[in-house]
Amino acid sequence: MADAATEVWFYHLERTGLEQALPELLEKTLQRGWKALVRVRQPDRVAHLDAALWTYRDDSFLPHAPDDEPNAARQLILLTTGFENPNGADALFLVDGAEPGELSGFARCVVLFDGGDEAQLAVARAQWSAIKASGVSVSYWRQQARGWEKQA
């Protein structure tokens, strides 16, 4: 699944939706000098997130593209349903209950899930259990009024 160097962080969305939280986390990822791969379950979500990342804030730009665009390997942020890592991303973002697949090669995996969606909560709990049992370092972040707070 992953090597011991991969960190897996679970982000419990309670105060904002994915369309607000994801871009902020992607900005922090790029500030580290990392590339990102955002994996979703359904192709229509790739198109939805592509549009959301272009319009989430007027004063910001996140260089990104869906994986079916030309030069996908050169993108800093790549949106996909696939399990490959064509852009050599350092950080993997899992949304909508996307499966982690092979995590080795990623410095960090970020699992974002909606706290108001029982199906997403169930998937996140199952992923937490499986990843933790494999010996990978996991942490749990909960959205608070003052920002993200590490809970475990």
CATH of the domain at 21: 3.40.50.10110
**45-92 pLDDT, tens digit each:** 999 999 999 888 888 789 999 999 989 999 999 999 999 999 999 999
Q: Is there a domain that residue 58 lies in?
A: yes
Domain count, the chain: 1
Residue-range definition of the domain harbouring residue 72: 7-150
DSSP state of 72: G
- What is the per-residue pLDDT across 119-140, written as a single tens digit (0 to 9) for each? 999 999 999 999 999 889 999 9
Q: Which tens digit of pLDDT belongs to each residue from 59-68?
A: 878 999 999 9
The answer to whether residue 118 sits within a structural domain is: yes
Alpha helices in the chain (DSSP H): 18-31, 43-55, 118-133
Give counts: helices (H), strands (E), the chain: 3, 8
For 31-40, the pLDDT digits (tens) are 999 999 999 9
Residue 62 lies in a domain: yes
Domain assignment present for 2: no
pLDDT of residue 37: 98
